[in-house]
Structure 1
Amino acid sequence: MQDLIISIRSIATLWILTAFLYPLLIFLIGQTAFPYQANGSLLTNAQGEVVGSALIGQTFTDDAYFLSRPSVIAYSEGEEANPTGISGGSNLAPDNPELFEYIQAEAQRLRSEGIEPTADLLYSSGSGLDPHISPAAAEAQVERVAQARGLSADEVRSLITQNTDGRFLGIFGEPGVNVLSLNVALDNL
């Protein structure tokens, strides 16, 4: 009987620690030290309306906006939206003919829009949710966006520079341009 009481006390203590106190501590640390990140890294437009998260990619089709990475999921927009928030790649092998046909068609579509295809404008990320493109992919779209908005290419390039994230700690990863923050900056001009 004594072993049963000790077991019940241990379970109750661990349950209170792991189900209540630890999550509460992490919540308080997040809200105090990192409120922007803890609340979804939400971006707003000039009117103060939330337009998306800096962490999740979105589809842009208008010539006045930079294109983001393609995704095999429908993000959270339109009739084909994915309400469950599931992420993922296409799971097509590199030698799959469907992938090859898709890449060829996408490259042709980009060229018809005056964009020289780059890898990140042709291939989706592993999660399908990556909000960044490379500076080279952004540069490939400068003329199209500048012309659609009536801006000079230098003005658009300046915004690209302002919205380019550097390497993590200066050494890890590659620089990337957050497409949503860049497009919001374009709208705010």
Structure 2
Amino acid sequence: MRKQFVVVGVLAGLSCLGVAEAADNMEGLARTCFNCHGTGGVSAGTSMPSIAGLPEAYLKSVMLEWKRGERASANMTRLVKGYTDDEIAGLAAYFAKQPWTPVPQPAAKAVLAKGRKATERCESCHGATGGQPDEDDVPKLNGQWAKYLELELAKYRDDSFQMTHKRMIRNARKMGAGDVEAAAGFYGAQGK
């Protein structure tokens, strides 16, 4: 009986070590993302998104779309193809557990007013300020880099880009060209 307890105790200890090792491996894999997306997934660059604190389902879905070639991104498609589906799931979980850190950028009152009006159809999914997504697969936009948001909206508006979210494509294409920059500026300026 005592030997059984010792064996069970050893197995439990090894299991905990396996979990700790997997967490360390994921931390190491996540560090490869820091070069572009910033330390901890909080970007310091205007055309590169912060990914820390985005919903796990969203991150996983987007990475799998890149891996399968369903979504356009020259860099991410090449990088993600080298990851297993389990590594992609692990990265999505890792970054989703990090705190969302909005980086509010200044915007003129006129841009905020025009952007507020331009984002009315966006509210149903992203919330009034972009910080209250209605679903697990919808990203936060508040305090995301405005230049990045503008570039992404341009992709949704362009037939030549592979973008998968049909509702986002429809809504982005309904926006006027001047509304894109204003909407991006509005969300970029939001702290909460």
TM (norm. structure 1) is 0.33
Structure with more helix by fraction: 2
Structure with more strand by fraction: 1
Larger Rg: 1
Structure with the bigger RCO (C-alpha within 8 Å, sep 6+) is 2
TM (norm. structure 2) is 0.33
